[in-house]
Structures are given as structure tokens and as C-alpha cells.
Structure 1
Amino acid sequence: MEKFDWRCPIRINLLLLRSVGLWPRGYGVYKRNFYLFYSIFTTITIVGGHNLSQVINIFYVYTDLEALTATIFVATTNILALIKRYFFVRNLPVLKEILKTLNTHQFHPKTLRQMKIIQTPLRRWKLAYICFSIIVYFNVAMWTLEPLLDNMIKNRRLPFQAWYPFDTRRSPNYEIAYCYQFICIWNITIANLNLDTLIFAFMMFISAQCEILCDDLRNLNNDTFGPRLIQCIKHHKEILRLAKVTNNIFNFIILGQIATSTAAIALTMFQLSLIDSLNTTALTHFAYMTGMLTEILLYCWFGNEIEVKSYMIPKAVYESQWLQQSRSVAKNLLILGCRCRKPIKITAINLFTLSLQTFIAILRSAWSYFALLSTINSK
């Protein structure tokens, strides 16, 4: 059977990460060349500069709760984008090693049946990628085009509240600041979106490997039961290692994403409560909140898939033809079944597990923060 390349489903994802300076070619890391200079320049001038202008602006509007929340709920996402870049680049060699490991024989689908099995999680990831991309790109388009849609060019309002060492209400200062924010937010968006979906892809890979292992276990036959069982045990051990390494790489990113998204949802709901009538500003805030909710849902959903698929492994062990095996083989099978009783979970530094129950808890927390802000504002 033709060799399956696990990089193929995420090829567009990796290409877009390369366009923003986050994915050097091949399995290598950064080298002293033009691409390294481009990555550093982009991070400092675009991501760093945009964040700095918004952080400084907080000190100018901290007495105005409405203006303060309007600045913070966007700035938190942008600051998180910088943190994501740091952890991603720091762990880039490990990530590329994981992709290299996934393309070894042990992780490949071995039959046409297994090829069909993994198509389902692959299609789900692609659907999630497309839907999430549409929501996010529409949201950013609304943010960047809102001043034009509201016909507010005369007021010289920028898409995002920020501080600059010049008067942005004059030409060509306004045009320069507008173009700078336009470039910054699209660069940050492409990086953020594809970093998130790459994390989803790695979680999808783990759940797909659990399905391949389940199929191998169910189809153990009497002739080669012992040797193939040893291969399954080694495969399970590698899946656990893959999940542990992936979790160690992304747990701080996941924690930061959940925390900032919860705060951003609460602040966005507060901003929506201050708008009297439906306009482009309200639509922009609603689109932003929808993007945040979708992002958290996908994190929790793909994490939940790993837990569900790993729960199926003990059942697959029981469904194998174990009754007719020798005592030594049955002993190995029993050990594997006991090790599989504890499901694989993706956590945020062991504070909480990515699951659908966590998603509900996040929604409750966001609503509590929103209620607190509304109470403070009413006083």
C-alpha cells in the first residue's frame, strides 16, 4: 500500500505559517539566512509594535471603563499571539521531529480499511479548519473595514484604539497608521489561526492513531497473535509518548488561550451591552465573540475526541481473539488492557482537561465576568 504522509492534510496550514515567518523549510530549524531576518523583523515591528501601541494606550484611557475594555479585549488576543510565537518557535525542533516520527512505519495506516478509518478525523479537521478560517477572516475583515463601512474617514478613526507618537487625524499620518494596523492584524491573524489549527491537527493525529490501534487489536488473528500484539503494545507506548510530548509543548499555549478567550468573551459581551442599536460596530463585536467561542469549542472538542478514542482501546482489546491464546500472550494482553484503562487527556499544565465539560465551565466563567463588569459600570 502507498505510504501515507501525515503532512499532506496540513500542507496549506504549514505554508501559511511559513508566510508569516514561523515555519522554515523541511524538517530543519532557523538558519542564518534571509528567512530568519524576515521572521525577526516581522515579530518585532509588526507583532511587537502593534502590541506596544495598544499597551501604552491603556495608560491614557484607564479612567474610562468603556474605552479601557475596548482596548483590553483586543490587546489580550494580540499579546497572546506574541506569547504563542515564542513557545512555538522555542519548540519548533520538537514539532518537526514529531512530524518526522509520524511518517515512520509504526504510525502509518497498514490496510485500506485503516485508510478509510482515518479519513473521518481528517475530514473533520479540514471542515473545522475551513469553518474557523471563514469566521476569523470575516471577523478581521469587519474590524479593518469598519471605519470605511461607517463612512467615518472624516473622523480619522482607526480600526483599533492605539497610541502613536504623532497625530493620526492628519494626512498622511492617518493613512500610514491605518495601513500599519491593517498589515499587523492580518499578519497576527494568519499566525494565530494557523497555530491554533496546527494544535488541532496534532490532537487529531493522536485520536487517529488511537483508531488505528483499535483496528489492529480487533483484527489480531490466531496465526500471528503474539508478534502483532507486541507491535500493538509498542504502538500504544508511542501514542502515549506522542500525546505527552504534544501536551508538554502546547500546555502553556492552551492555558493562555483559554484564559484570554474567557476574558475576551466577557469584555465583548460588555461592549455589546453598551451599544443601543444594531450597527457595524455591534456586528463586529458579535463576529469577534463568535470567533472566540468557536476557537475554545474546537480546542475542547478535539481534546475530547482524544479522550473518547482512547477509551475505546480497552474495548478493542476485549474484542480480539484472546480466548485461544497462551498464558504468556494473555498476560501481555491483560497488561495492555490495564494500561489502557486510564484515557489519554490533553491538559493545560494539569489545571483542567480539554473536554466539552470544560467548554461549558468556560462559558459560565465568561458570563460571571460579564455580570461583574455590568455591575461595576452601573454603579
Structure 2
Amino acid sequence: MTSIITDSFHLTILILRCVGLYYNGKQSLAMKIWKYSVYLLSVVMVVLALFNLFVEENIDMLQLNQLVVFLAEASSGVVKILLFMKNGSRIKKCIHFFGDRRFEPKNEEEKRILDECVRLCRRNVKIIVGALAFTDVIWNILPLWNPASALPVKIWLPFELIPGSPTLYLARFYVAIVLTYDGIVTTSLEPLIGGLAYHITAQIKILKYNIIYLDGNNTAKTEIGNRSTTNYKKVREKLIQCIAHHNDILIFVAEFENCFSWCIFWQLAGTTFGLCFCSVGMTWVSPTSVNAMMFFVTYAVISLQLFFYCHYGTLLYEENNGLIDAIYMSPWYKYDAATRKIFITMMECSKVSITLTTGKIITLTYDTFTSVLKTSYSLIAVLNNYH
């Protein structure tokens, strides 16, 4: 049986494998050289763009907006990739936590829940990667519509870019590689992290179902001779399994926070500035221009990245809040005192709030998403007044 994690994130894992961030066993020397070389090229371009921001005297507002949007997204991406490279083995174990055999579906309802989770994760990966590929193409063809701009992103270079010269094409090739690398790799992490959050939600749904239907039909009755008795021992065994399942979920949430919390934090920081300067850029260009399309598509993709985090963080929070309700909805009143004590223990355990945070500071909810939009709009007002 194929792991549900592999089914959910096949495309993401393939992308990470191609750039050396995901591997089985010991990584070859050639792949290590490739991994660090491409990452170094990305870091160098961020430094060159940042240096150009401070030394360029004649930069216009359009180029400034493009440069800041690139720096906001590329800087957060560089940090996220570094965190992934630093904790690669631990992150890989976290990714495949729910791929263990003990989380395989045991009945039709569990299978239905997991199949729906896998379907949504695969859909999200395709949407995000497809949108990013389209955005990457638009950024790379910008010089074709704006001859005054030699490169899609204005960076500092120690030589002049002469039209038609080999150095110009070499510089464009370098920028294209970095834009594609930063975009594809960092953006493919968004549906992976958000999808893992949704897998937590799916496991809580399964847990709630198993609690409500401990005996399979919610009656907990078996016939022994002419008497109707409750099979307390069997129910207690299933309830203990539910408690173990809940503990596994809590363990994964803690590991998820340790692996991805700071990745989400840097994405949140980059998104705030990226949305702001994309919005400002759209107000300063013609609505029918390629630059307007570039800013609009970039704005949409950046918003979608953040929305994935906040959406699945909210779903997880709401699903976990319904866990106590599921315990109350179960036929706990039909069981003996020993079984009811186990129910009480589980009620106490379910009081532990399961939330996803960014930097272990800000909770990922719809409120966080709207707060980021409000903050970016406030920065827009300040920049427009300055302009």
C-alpha cells in the first residue's frame, strides 16, 4: 500500500528531490554540490539586489517596487530553505509521521476521510505550483516588453549590460535560474506544510468518529443468554486506543511546530511587504500593461500562500474544539464506572488546545490573514503619501 503522505505530496517531494532537499539514505557528493551551488546562487542574487537598492541613484519607482517584492519573497525563501537544509532528517521524519502503518484506515469512514484529505492535498499542490510557474514566466519575460529594463530584477553587477552582448544573456540566464529556484522550491513548501496541518485535522476527525462509535453502532449491547449486557472490556480497549491516537496527534503537533513554525514566520514577514509593494506597484502602472499583470499575479500567489496556512490552521483549531463534544455525544452514560473514568481522563486530555503558530508567537487563523492584509494596506497608505 502506498503511503498517504506520498500520495498527498508526490509532486512536492519530486521537486525537493530534484534540488537535493529530500533524499533517501546517504546523499551523493554530486547531489550535495548541486544543492549548495544552487542555494549559493540564490543567496548571491539576494545580496546583489539588496546592494543595488542602497547604491543605485537613478532607480525609478517601478523598478523599486519590483526589487522590494523580489527581496521580500526571496529573502524569506532563502531562510526557509536554510532551515530545511539544516533540519532535513528531522523534517523528513515529520513529513512521513502519518505514513506509519498504525494510521492506516481501519474502516470505510476512516478511508473516506483520508481519501478526501489526500485529494485536497494533491489539488493544492497542483494549484500552487501551477500558479507559481505562470508567475515565473511573467517575471522572466518582463525585459521583452520593457527594453529599458535589461533584467527582470535590477541587481548590482560589476560590468555594464550592453544590448546583444553575451554578458547580458548570461545575466538573464542567471536571474531566470534563481527566480525559478526560489519560486518553485519555496512555494512548493506551502502546500506541503498546509497539507500536513490538514492531515492533523483528518486524524482528529477519525478520532472523533471512533469515540462516538466506540462499539460500532453506538449501542454497546451484546446478547448473553436472555440478558442484555454491555461489553465494557471491549469498549475500554477501544477507548484506550483512542487515547493513544490522541497522544500521537499531540506528539506530531509539537514536532510540526518545531520543524515548520519559523518557516511560516518568515513567510508571514515576507508576505506583508510583498503584498504592500505589489499593491503600490499596481497603482503606478497602466492596468493593461504586462507590469500590472505581473504585480496582480504575484499578489494573488503571495496571498494564496498565506491563506493556505491560515485556512488549515483555522480548520484544525475548530475541529479540535469539537473533540470534547464528540466525547459527550458518545454513549458514555451506558458504561460502568471504570470506563467512565477513562472518558473523564480523555476529556481532560482534549482540553489541550491544538493550534498552529508562526514563530511560536502568532496563531494561524483567518484573523491572522486579515491582520496581514490590514498591515500591508496601512503601509500602502504611508508609501502613497510619501510618493
Do Structure 1 and Structure 2 share a fold, with TM-score over 0.5? yes
User: Which one of 360, 366, 382 corresponds to residue 350 of structure 1?
Assistant: 360
Instruction: State the AA in 2 paired with 1:144.
Output: N
TM-aligned CA deviation for residue 276 of structure 1? 4.1
Instruction: State the AA in 1 paired with 2:249.
Output: I
Distance 2:50 2:384 in 1: 23
User: Which one of 324, 328, 343 corresponds to residue 334 of structure 2?
Assistant: 324
Distance of aligned partners of 1:200 and 1:375 in 2 relative to their CA distance in 1, 3 Å threshold: same
Indicate conservation of the 8 Å contact 1:61/1:68, yes or no.
Answer: no
Distance of aligned partners of 1:62 and 1:215 in 2 relative to their CA distance in 1, 3 Å threshold: farther
TM-aligned CA deviation for residue 104 of structure 1? 2.6
Instruction: State the AA in 1 paired with 2:251.
Output: R
3-state SS in 2 of match to 1:6: helix
Instruction: State the AA in 1 paired with 2:16.
Output: L
Equivalent in the alignment of 1:22? 21
Instruction: State the AA in 1 paired with 2:150.
Output: R
Distance 1:293 1:129 in 2: 15
Q: Please state if 1:93 is matched with 2:127.
A: no
TM-aligned CA deviation for residue 99 of structure 1? 4.0
Equivalent in the alignment of 2:176? 182
Say which is worse superposed, 83-92 or 101-110, in terms of deviation.
101-110
Indicate conservation of the 8 Å contact 2:4/2:118, yes or no.
Answer: no
User: Which one of 235, 238, 254 corresponds to residue 248 of structure 2?
Assistant: 238
Write out per-residue CA displacement over residues 177-221 of structure 1, whole angstroms, 9 at most, x where no aligned residue: 111111111111111121222111211211111111112112101
Distance 2:95 2:289 in 1: 46
Equivalent in the alignment of 2:56? 61
TM-score (norm: length of structure 2): 0.90
Write out per-residue CA displacement over residues 284-335 of structure 1, whole angstroms, 9 at most, x where no aligned residue: 1111111111111111001111112212221221222211212122111112
Give the percent of matched residue pairs that are identical in Structure 1 and Structure 2.
21
Equivalent in the alignment of 1:142? 138
Equivalent in the alignment of 1:333? 343
Instruction: State the AA in 2 paired with 1:9.
Output: S
Q: Please state if 1:167 is matched with 2:177.
A: no
Instruction: State the AA in 1 paired with 2:29.
Output: N
Equivalent in the alignment of 1:48? 43
Distance 1:174 1:3 in 2: 47
3-state SS in 2 of match to 1:7: helix
Indicate conservation of the 8 Å contact 1:3/1:108, yes or no.
Answer: no
Unaligned runs of 5+ in 1: none
Say which is worse superposed, 310-319 or 364-373, in terms of deviation.
310-319
Say which is worse superposed, 125-134 or 241-250, in terms of deviation.
125-134
Write out per-residue CA displacement over residues 87-145 of structure 1, whole angstroms, 9 at most, x where no aligned residue: 11222211222344323333222112211112222222222222222222111111111
Equivalent in the alignment of 1:126? 122
Say which is worse superposed, 32-41 or 64-73, in terms of deviation.
64-73
Unaligned runs of 5+ in 2: 221-230
Equivalent in the alignment of 2:214? 220
Say which is worse superposed, 199-208 or 32-41, in terms of deviation.
32-41
Distance 1:181 1:91 in 2: 28
TM-aligned CA deviation for residue 76 of structure 1? 1.7
Distance 1:320 1:123 in 2: 29
Q: Please state if 1:205 is matched with 2:191.
A: no
Counterparts in 2 of 1:272-283, with a 5 A limit? Answer: 272-283=282-293
TM-aligned CA deviation for residue 60 of structure 1? 2.0
Equivalent in the alignment of 2:70? 74
Distance of aligned partners of 1:233 and 1:125 in 2 relative to their CA distance in 1, 3 Å threshold: same
Write out per-residue CA displacement over residues 319-360 of structure 1, whole angstroms, 9 at most, x where no aligned residue: 222112121221111121132134310011332111111111
4+ long deviations beyond 6 Å: none
TM-aligned CA deviation for residue 242 of structure 1? 0.3
Instruction: State the AA in 1 paired with 2:5.
Output: W
Counterparts in 2 of 1:284-295, with a 5 A limit? Answer: 284-295=294-305
Distance 1:157 1:100 in 2: 44
Write out per-residue CA displacement over residues 9-29 of structure 1, whole angstroms, 9 at most, x where no aligned residue: 21221011111221113xx3x
**Higher Cα Rg, which structure:** 2
Indicate conservation of the 8 Å contact 1:109/1:115, yes or no.
Answer: yes
Distance 1:106 1:337 in 2: 23
Q: Please state if 1:195 is matched with 2:192.
A: no
Write out per-residue CA displacement over residues 216-241 of structure 1, whole angstroms, 9 at most, x where no aligned residue: 11210133110111111011011011
Distance of aligned partners of 1:91 and 1:62 in 2 relative to their CA distance in 1, 3 Å threshold: farther
Question: How many equivalent residue pairs?
Answer: 369
Distance 1:110 1:227 in 2: 15
TM-aligned CA deviation for residue 375 of structure 1? 1.0
